[in-house]
Amino acid sequence: MDQANNTGGALQGIRVIDLSRVLGGPYCTQVLGDHGAEIVKIEPPQGDEVRDWGPPFHEADAAYFIGVNRNKRSMGLDLSTSAGRELLLELLADADVLLENYKPGAMEKWGLGYEDVLKARFPRLVHCRISGFGADGPLGGFPGYDAIVQAMAGWFSVNGEAGGSPTRSGIAMVDMGTGLYAAIAILMALQERSRSGLGQYIDMTLYDCAVSLMHPHVVNYNLSGKVPVATGNAHPNISPYDTFRTRTVDIFIGAGNNRAFERLCGEIGAPDLAGDPRFGSNADRVAHRAELKVELETHLVRLDGEALCERLLVAGLPAGPIHDTGQVVAHPHTRHRQMDLQKDWYRMTGIPIKFSRTPGSLRYLPPEYGRHSRELLAEAGLDPEQIDRLIADGIVLEARRR
């Protein structure tokens, strides 16, 4: 399957007007676009700010922007003007989905609120809003950013080395997780619309998604009353499930049950450990985690880590060497799974969802700002004179306003 050349896709025929910026919303629409949805990325006059979040850059756009904005066409539009808002309403006439991440109340202030305007005018429209905390409640209306929400939703407290300072996750998983939840929600709403004929409003927040992803820490706390703490690379509920030193490289081993633990002990030449009463059950191993790690590493430090991981995998035991980003990109399995997607200058992560009949594809490289403004307006039925006037008046833009 050549992801760079396939056409169509599972979502072919779905049209999405994407007003979102930064990460969560754009990641959501890239997932939809990878599978055939038509994504119209409408950017404010200054553009999506992550175009500037570099280095590194390709020409004028940062890698941060490039990584989450393929399979989209871009239009610059000034929604602070009444003409810009009217034009957006025209573009929504044949849209299935509107996605935006403006501060709650902004769309309503502009006369574009779902309940007041969009629901009646476009009854089949699915309107998804991503915000930090929602419009109401104790934190309603406040801005939300990935790291801030990680901190507030408890992620910092369970991340990092045991006894160390609270630590941010190195991946913006609140934003990206919210983007994935939003994609799922949009697809659910479209499926329900196929039965009812009606769209609906989707209220997605970073906070809700971050709390929902706090597994198993929230459920552990609810059942035990003990506040979870950081455990480094060790799992709070399973042992051994941690990083271990070998003679050559650090590796990660996970043995989630007694049978797997016994097999691990045999593979590393330490069968007696499986009969040690300190390590008789998973609960025992969790209670004696530090002692178990010392015992295992006594044997592991004599072994070649890469070769051991291959042997453990063949034996059906989860294990792997700790790779850096360069090693991941160069790994033959990354390429085998088509997760190193390349076309012309573009080289990014591939499409993780693999369909047998309707595979995803790369149809559009990440767009330059406003590159498709004229094309999209012409498709909307505007004549060349109308398009020229909108651009001359600064309502529609082909270049960022600095």
Active site residues: 175
Tokens of 272: 């007696």
By DSSP bridging, strand 241-244 and strand 201-205 are unpaired
User: Which positions ≥6 away from 367 have C-beta within 8 Å?
Assistant: 41, 69, 72, 73, 74
Tokens of 58: 């390709």
By DSSP bridging, strand 97-100 and strand 340-343 are unpaired
**Geometric angle at alpha carbon 65, from 63 and 67, rounded to 5°:** 65
